[in-house]
């Protein structure tokens, strides 16, 4: 039969009971008055009605340990032994092993309570399993439709052309245009001619700012699925059509 663990008034085992008595009496754990603690411990044992000896065993072992320590502290020391200890080092404290056990138990009990708090906090959280994206969320590209990398390469080529044009121009008239306005302009132009190249969407003397703004507007319209873009080859211009 599996050994049961006695729990009385929230005490789990003899060390837990002994630690409670020490804290209740506000005793220094490094200087335990063994006589008083032993008396209180025995009193608690008398209040327990042990029906199984295997359960009471650990408590009785602790009681005998306390009695042994108490007797060691009450017995008079040999004068010869006292003389030797006074010359060398102080005598061993009979309570030292018990104190070490109590300190170790106290540490593990504190860790256990911390884990219990974390467990209770974790039970308040509800994790969501990973969702599988539906097939409709993956839209295959039509033949000739360009990827983002292809558009980026084309963008670099357009910027190079605009930069070369600026070097040859004597004067540059800077015109500020927002991305939203650029989107509107592109849609208006496509509604008139249905299809146009990206170069045709730009002014004849387009600045670098206009090229960048119109290109970002183009990407936004692609994202909104308002237009389609195609490019016959790497060096060809981007063909833009309404969807």
197 forms beta bridges with 239
Contact between residue 231 and residue 239 where contact means Cβ atoms under 8 Å apart: yes
Cβ contact 65:73 at 8 Å = no
User: CA nearest 104: which of 22, 169, 16, 208?
Assistant: 16
100: which 2 tokens? 């070490």
H-helix or E-strand spanning residue 242: strand 239-242
Q: Which domain holds residue 21?
A: 7-114
Let me know how long the chain is. Answer: 243
Shared domain for 146 and 218, answered yes or no, is: yes
Asked if residue 12 is part of any domain, the answer here is yes
φ, ψ at 228 (rounded to 5°)? -120, 145
Query: Do 20 and 90 belong together in one domain?
Result: yes
Q: Find the CATH number of the domain harbouring 234.
A: 1.10.10.580
User: What gap in Å lies between CA 225 and CA 220, rounded to an integer?
Assistant: 9
Chain centre to alpha carbon of residue 91: 51
107 lies in the same domain as 156? no
CA distance 20 to 15: 8
Same domain for 109 and 152: no
Task: Please report, in tens digits, the pLDDT of each residue of the chain (243 residues total).
Answer: 344 344 444 567 788 888 888 888 888 888 888 888 888 888 877 776 654 556 667 777 888 888 888 888 777 766 655 555 555 555 678 888 888 888 888 888 888 888 888 888 888 887 777 776 555 444 454 555 555 566 666 666 666 665 565 544 444 455 577 888 989 998 998 988 888 888 888 877 677 788 888 888 888 888 888 888 887 776 677 888 888
Write down the pTM of the prediction.
0.42
Structure tokens at 93: 């404290």
- As for how many domains the chain has, the answer is 2
208 with 163: CB under 8 angstroms? Answer: yes
Other CB atoms within 10 Å distance of the CB of residue 217: 22
Q: Do residues 179 and 89 share a domain?
A: no
Instruction: Identify whether 134 is part of a domain.
Output: no
C-beta atoms surrounding 209 within 10 Å: 14
- Residue 130, in any domain of the structure: no
């Amino acid at each position: 039969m599996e050994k049961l663990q006695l729990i009385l008034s929230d005490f789990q085992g003899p060390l837990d009971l002994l630690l409670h008595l020490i804290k209740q009496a506000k005793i220094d754990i490094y200087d335990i008055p063994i006589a008083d603690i032993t008396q209180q411990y025995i009193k608690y044992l008398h209040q327990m009605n042990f029906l199984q000896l295997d359960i009471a065993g650990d408590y009785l072992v602790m009681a005998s340990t306390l009695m042994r320590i108490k007797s060691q502290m009450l017995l008079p020391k040999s004068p010869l032994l006292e003389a030797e200890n006074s010359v060398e080092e102080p005598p061993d404290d009979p309570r030292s092993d018990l104190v070490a056990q109590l300190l170790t138990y106290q540490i593990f009990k504190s860790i256990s309570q911390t884990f219990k708090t974390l467990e209770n906090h974790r039970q308040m959280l509800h994790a969501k399993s990973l969702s599988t994206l539906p097939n409709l969320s993956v839209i295959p590209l039509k033949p000739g439709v360009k990827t983002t990398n292809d558009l980026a390469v084309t963008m670099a080529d357009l910027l190079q052309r605009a930069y070369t044009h600026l070097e040859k121009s004597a004067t540059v008239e800077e015109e500020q245009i927002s991305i939203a306005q650029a989107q509107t302009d592109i849609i208006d132009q496509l509604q008139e001619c249905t299809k146009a190249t990206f170069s045709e969407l730009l002014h004849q003397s387009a600045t670098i700012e206009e090229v960048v703004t119109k290109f970002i507007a183009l990407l936004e319209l692609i994202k909104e699925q308002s237009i389609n873009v195609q490019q016959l080859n790497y060096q060809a211009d981007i063909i833009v059509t309404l969807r």
